[in-house]
Structures are given as structure tokens and as C-alpha cells.
Amino acid sequence: MFQCVLSSSVLQPHSTSCLFKHLFYHSATPASQKQPEPAVRAPFVKLCIFSALQVARQLLLQQQQVSGLKSPKRNDKQPALQVPVSVAMMTPQVITPQQMQQILQQQVLSPQQLQVLLQQQQALMLQQQQLQEFYKKQQEQLQLQLIQQQHAGKQPKEQQQVATQQLAFQQQLLQMQQLQQQHLLALQRQGLLTIQPGQPALPLQPLAQGMIPTELQQLWKEVTSAHSAEETTGNNHSSLDLTTTCVSSSAPSKTSLIMNPHASTNGQLSVHPPKRESLSHEEHPHSHPLYGHGVCKWPGCEAVCEDFQSFLKHLNSEHALDDRSTAQCRVQMQVVQQLELQLAKDKERLQAMMTHLHVKSTEPKAAPQPLNLVSSVTLSKSASEASPQSLPHTPTTPTAPLTPVTQGPSVITTTNMHTVGPIRRRYSDKYNVPISSADIAQNQEFYKNAEVRPPFTYASLIRQAILESPEKQLTLNEIYNWFTRMFAYFRRNAATWKNAVRHNLSLHKCFVRVENVKGAVWTVDEVEFQKRRPQKISGNPSLIKNMQSSHAYCTPLNAALQASMAENSIPLYTTASMGNPTLGSLASAMREELNGAMEHTNSNESDSSPGRSPLQAVHPVHVKEEPLDPEEAEGPLSLVTTANHSPDFDHDRDYEDEPVNEDME
């Protein structure tokens, strides 16, 4: 029932490759992030890893942006706009695997390993310093050359060479910094989880770009010094120290708090945890944010506490206000801060993506028809936001999945639709948007509101409309309504697309007309429908290959979709019961289609379909002309009303009020 589905046209080879890229991106990213999680792992460690990744990623981002600005070379090759885009796309993949590995491995470090780590760290520092020096020299050289050229006006090549060298070094630097960052965080974590003999704080200036470096530095100092203090002195002493440490060390944090408004609240919360806790648990005897499921939730602790009382005991004894706890708090603060930062970034990216989808890259030919888009609001918004890391695609791919830049057929202006005469546009193949599951789910709302042509063939859409109905049958008018309900695009220019719908219904064998008491309804002959694509696919070996290779993505694809839908509390394909059935079901139908296509590639022709869709083993009527159908016996009740989407149909009326529309209800 839940199958991967894409419209037949969507599966055209061209778009398929894009799709796979896309899918790979979507599937690879989360997978790698969760990657090899050891069985036993404190949540704290997860947080640390996560934050480490975020830090590194952020670092990389900022670095790239900086370097993108600095190096003229980069701008030569690609529009400045695109640089951050590709970076944004790549970062998750670039960072994750190795870093994960390292971080995870480092998690179980023995003292010796720690030693090694530290040595590595130092070595890194050294290398980095060297690199930096080199880099400086290069810069100076470049400056010099620039000056010379300004006077002499020549030798651009050399300059370029230097620039590229510079770039390369920047990248190396970047990598070093990443590694460094990573080591630092690993060490931090270790320092908290195991007692780490005091290693002098390391010079950390190069880290500056990534995240508040002074804070990190401070953190590191504190953590290490705290441990050494703990080792050398007793607990009593340290509990005395804490206050001082707390006070003195809070200075840098405060500065950062000022810089980051979000952090301030967190800072407040986490800086004085012990006090708060004692207060809070008095007020709310059995709810404590640090206690849950009989386990202490203090980062890295996970001590089992039978009851709340013992937890309190544990809390007061093990996590008293001492240097260590303070340091841990600070780290936690960092973590939260980083998460917030990341969240902000992701939000921004999401915004930019959405904006981008509403906007049109305005380029191609002096098109008679303007390129689209939705509202001026989004437009203006996009102007300011679309720049940084929004675009989901690398500049190198000519066919950006979500934005068919080419001749604007995929998008049509509202205003021009009526006036512009017949515009031939073909959206299914070329301009087709390869669609990942997430896209589908996400874009559903988008298509509902934005007058963007959906990247599905009429046949697929019709089928979807029909399958979505509880009886798996719709009248023509109901199909129309579905179109207008689901796609803003189809709220205009009704004559054209309605004609196309009728044309498709008549033309394709997979659509079966069933006479009924009250008229005629259309159903889908799934067998026929499935037959359609194999032809296409079977003719093209490369496609088959792609399809097969893509099979592996189907699962994560589904998972991702379902997850995203679950997040939005969108039920899957329970059409009859839910208020807004369309979103989930469209997506699921898309999956279905994809799966169906793949089944056919795997088991060509053979009658695999009946098993697959008991649900729509509707009417195996192959002769279109035949009005009579076993279906007729089934009952005339269904078509009478649109009981299933009664709520939605009010919307339909709205749409139908439009000038062009000549629907009758």
C-alpha cells in the first residue's frame, strides 16, 4: 500500500539522475549523522558529537564564505550567489563521516590515547601555524602583486596562480581547523567524562572563525584545570573553589551571552543549576529535568536512581556545585548554544529554500511570458534571503530539481495566464522536477498555494485523484475539483487543463469509465496503469539500471517521508478518515508509483501487480468502450456525493468562482 511513487514522467532518465542525487543527499546525510553509534552511549556524548559536528560545519561554512569573498578566483568561476549554496549542500557530507568516526572512536579513549590525541592536537597546531604563516606570506605576495599590477597593469595569470594557491591553503587551513576543533571537543568531552591530567591549555586563536573561540579556550582551560584541581585537592576544597571559578570564568561566557541573545537565557538556566534544582524540586517534588526513567540525566552521568529521593541525594553529592559541574554546565551551554545556532541556520535555510521555490530565477530568453511567481511578498523576501545557503543544488547541475530554470514553462504568472495564448509547455519530462519524498510532502502545500505547475503528468494526477477517493472512483467534475483543490496552478486556465484531463481520461486505457446510476465515474485500472511505464522504462536500459540501483533509496525515502509527515501529524493514506487526506495520500501514491515502476523493472511484465494492489484491483476492464462493468453492481451510493472530502469541497467552490472556470457543481 505504501509504495514509492513518482509519476511516469518523473521517472524519465534525465530527471531520475537528479532524483538520485537528491535522494542520495537526503538519505546520506541523516544516515551518516547517526552513523555508527556504539550501543552504550550517554546522551551527553551524543550532544557533544552533535555539537562538534555543528561547530565544524559552521566553521567550514564561515570559512568558505570568507574565502569566497577573499578569493577573486572563486567569484570568477561561479556567481557569488552559488558558492554558499554548494557549500551548504556539501558540508553535511563532507564533515560527517570522518569526523563521526573520529569522534566516536575517541569516545573510549584510554589515557594513552588521550596522550596521543593531545600530541596530535599539538602537531596540528604547529602545522596550522606554519600554514598560517605561509598563508600570510601568500597574502602579502598577492597584495604586492596587486599593487604592482595596479601600477603596471599586467600579468593577471600570476595573480590567479597566487589566488588559487591561496585558496588551496585556505582550504588546508580550514581542514586543519576542523580537525583541531574536533580534537578539542573530543578532549573536552573526555575531560568531563574521565579525569584528564592537566594539560596546559592550548593556543586556540586559529579557531576563531568557527565559534566563539575565547569561550572555547576558556572552557578548555577550565575543564582541564578543574580536573587537575580535583586531583590534587579534595572535594571540599573544590567546592570552595567553585564559586570563584564560577565567577571568574563566567566572564567570557557573559561576553558571548551578550553576543548571542539566545544563549543568555540558556546561560541563566544552566549557569546555576544546583541552586535552581534545589528550588525546583522543592516546588515540583517529582518532576525534575535532570531526572527521568529512574536515571540521572546529568550529562554523562546516567546513574541509576531508584527513586526521586535517591536521585536528589545523588544530585547533591555527585553533581554538587564544584568546578567540574560548572564546567559541565558550561559545556552544556555551549551545546545548547550550538544547537540553537544550528537551528537558526537551518531555519534560515528552510526559509531560503521556500523562498527560492516561490521565486523564479529570471534568466532565459526574453520570454514573452514572464516567469512566475507567487506573491510580491515572497519575491521581495527572497531578494534579501535567497543568497546564502538556500539553494539545494550545486551550480554544476544544469537541472536544478526544484527550479527548472529553463524557459519558465514550469511556472506561469497568474496575470498572464488568461491573456497569453496557447503556450506549449511540457512539464513532465524535461522541466520535470525530480522529487524526493521530502519534497513531495513539503511541496504539497507549496503547490496548493503557489501557482507553479506540478511536475506530474496529467495521467498521474488523475490517477492520484481517483485513488484518493474512498471509492476509488470519481466523476469528471470531481477530478476537476481535486485538481483545483490540490494545485493552485489549476485554478487558472481551466479550459486548457480540463481539456487535457478529458483527453487523458479518454486516451489512456488505464482510466476506465464506469456507468452509474447517477452518471459516469472514472476509475483506474491499475494493471493498465502499471503497464504504461514499463514500456518506457524497459526501452531504456540505463533507466532500468538506475531504477534498480535506486531501490535501496526507497526505504530511507519512505522513512523520511513518513517521518516528516508524522512530524506534521499527517496521517498516511487514510483517506476516508482524515480531514486533509490529500497531502499524505498524494505523497504515498507517489511512492507507490515509484515502487510500482520498480517492481516492473524487476519482474518485467509479469503479473506482479494483482498482489500489490488489492486495494485497487478495481476493474480489470481493458476495453474502454464498455460501459457496463461489474462495478455497477457495487452500489450507486458512492458517487452521489462527495462525502469523503466534504470539508474540502467548500474550497472547491471558492476556486470555481474564478472567471475562467466554468465548473458546475
Distance from C-alpha of 621 to C-alpha of 509, rounded to nearest angstrom: 9
Closer Cβ to DNA, 311 or 480, answer by number = 480
Retrieve residue 545's grid coordinates.
539500471
Q: For the chain, how far is it from start to end, CA to CA, in angstroms?
A: 32
Closer Cβ to DNA, 271 or 373, answer by number = 373
Q: How far apart are CB 652 and DNA at their closest, in Å? A: 13
Does position 539 interact with DNA (CB under 7 A)? The reply is: yes
Q: What is the DSSP letter of 5?
A: -
- Contact predicate 308/290, CB 8 Å: no
Phi, psi (degrees; rounded to nearest 5) at 514? -120, 120
Does position 458 interact with DNA (CB under 7 A)? The reply is: yes
Does position 423 interact with DNA (CB under 7 A)? The reply is: yes
When binding is defined by CB under 7 A, the residue of 522, 553, 573, 655 that contacts DNA is: 522
Closer Cβ to DNA, 79 or 422, answer by number = 422
Q: How far apart are CB 373 and DNA at their closest, in Å? A: 18
When binding is defined by CB under 7 A, the residue of 46, 254, 536, 651 that contacts DNA is: 536
Closer Cβ to DNA, 117 or 435, answer by number = 435
Q: How far apart are CB 480 and DNA at their closest, in Å? A: 6
Distance from C-alpha of 408 to C-alpha of 365, rounded to nearest angstrom: 9
Closer Cβ to DNA, 259 or 507, answer by number = 507
- Contact predicate 6/589, CB 8 Å: no
* Residue 522: Cβ within 10 Å count: 22
Q: How far apart are CB 422 and DNA at their closest, in Å? A: 2
Does position 233 interact with DNA (CB under 7 A)? The reply is: no
When binding is defined by CB under 7 A, the residue of 116, 344, 520, 576 that contacts DNA is: 520
Q: How far apart are CB 78 and DNA at their closest, in Å? A: 24
Q: How far apart are CB 470 and DNA at their closest, in Å? A: 19
Stretch that binds DNA, among 161-169, 305-313, 341-349, 514-522 (CB under 7 A): 514-522
H or E element in which residue 286 lies: none
Q: How far apart are CB 80 and DNA at their closest, in Å? A: 29
Stretch that binds DNA, among 255-263, 266-274, 366-374, 519-527 (CB under 7 A): 519-527
Stretch that binds DNA, among 214-222, 417-425, 571-579, 600-608 (CB under 7 A): 417-425
Closest CA to 610 of 599, 602, 601: 599
Closer Cβ to DNA, 54 or 369, answer by number = 369
Q: How far apart are CB 101 and DNA at their closest, in Å? A: 37
Does position 12 interact with DNA (CB under 7 A)? The reply is: yes
Closer Cβ to DNA, 295 or 423, answer by number = 423
Does position 81 interact with DNA (CB under 7 A)? The reply is: no
Does position 422 interact with DNA (CB under 7 A)? The reply is: yes
When binding is defined by CB under 7 A, the residue of 507, 559, 615, 643 that contacts DNA is: 507
Closer Cβ to DNA, 381 or 502, answer by number = 502
CB-based burial label for 609 (10 Å; 0-12, 13-18, 19+): buried
Does position 421 interact with DNA (CB under 7 A)? The reply is: yes
Does position 532 interact with DNA (CB under 7 A)? The reply is: yes
Closest CA to 114 of 206, 207, 193, 35: 193
Stretch that binds DNA, among 7-15, 89-97, 146-154, 240-248 (CB under 7 A): 7-15
Buried b (16+ CB within 10 A) or exposed e, 374-387: beeebbebbeebbb
Residue list 577-636, contact with DNA (CB under 7 A)? 624-625
Closer Cβ to DNA, 116 or 640, answer by number = 640
Does position 513 interact with DNA (CB under 7 A)? The reply is: yes
Q: How far apart are CB 363 and DNA at their closest, in Å? A: 16
When binding is defined by CB under 7 A, the residue of 353, 459, 544, 561 that contacts DNA is: 459
H or E element in which residue 296 lies: strand 295-296
Retrieve residue 421's grid coordinates.
495564448
* Rg of the chain in Å (alpha carbons): 30
Distance from C-alpha of 226 to C-alpha of 331, rounded to nearest angstrom: 13
Binding mask 471-500 for DNA (x = CB under 7 A): ----xxx--x--------------xxx-xx
Q: How far apart are CB 493 and DNA at their closest, in Å? A: 7
CB-based burial label for 588 (10 Å; 0-12, 13-18, 19+): buried
Distance from C-alpha of 589 to C-alpha of 572, rounded to nearest angstrom: 10
H or E element in which residue 291 lies: strand 291-292
Nearby residues of 579 by Cβ (< 8 Å), 6 or more positions away: 647
Does position 183 interact with DNA (CB under 7 A)? The reply is: no
Does position 429 interact with DNA (CB under 7 A)? The reply is: yes
Distance from C-alpha of 526 to C-alpha of 613, rounded to nearest angstrom: 8
Does position 658 interact with DNA (CB under 7 A)? The reply is: no
- Contact predicate 55/185, CB 8 Å: yes
Single-letter amino acid, residue 312? L
- Contact predicate 356/262, CB 8 Å: no
HSE (side-chain half, CA atoms, 13 Å) at 145:
16
Closer Cβ to DNA, 237 or 502, answer by number = 502
> CA dihedral defined by 183, 186, 187, 190, rounded to 10 degrees?
-160
Write the DSSP assignment of 455-508 as a string of letters. Answer: SS-HHHHHHHHHHHSTTSEE-HHHHHHHHHHH-GGGGS-HHHHHHHHHHHHHH-
Q: How far apart are CB 498 and DNA at their closest, in Å? A: 7
- Contact predicate 413/372, CB 8 Å: yes
Stretch that binds DNA, among 179-187, 419-427, 548-556, 603-611 (CB under 7 A): 419-427
Residue with cell string 567550514: 60
When binding is defined by CB under 7 A, the residue of 430, 448, 509, 651 that contacts DNA is: 430
- Contact predicate 613/524, CB 8 Å: no
Closer Cβ to DNA, 254 or 624, answer by number = 624
Buried b (16+ CB within 10 A) or exposed e, 133-152: eebeebeeebeebeeeeeee
Closer Cβ to DNA, 422 or 647, answer by number = 422
When binding is defined by CB under 7 A, the residue of 457, 601, 609, 613 that contacts DNA is: 457
Closer Cβ to DNA, 210 or 534, answer by number = 534
18 by DSSP, 3-state: which? helix
Does position 417 interact with DNA (CB under 7 A)? The reply is: no
Q: How far apart are CB 611 and DNA at their closest, in Å? A: 24
Does position 662 interact with DNA (CB under 7 A)? The reply is: yes
| Chain positions contacting DNA, by CB under 7 A | 8-9, 12-14, 421-430, 456-459, 475-477, 480, 495-497, 499-500, 502-507, 513, 519-520, 522, 532, 535-536, 539-540, 542, 624-625, 662-664
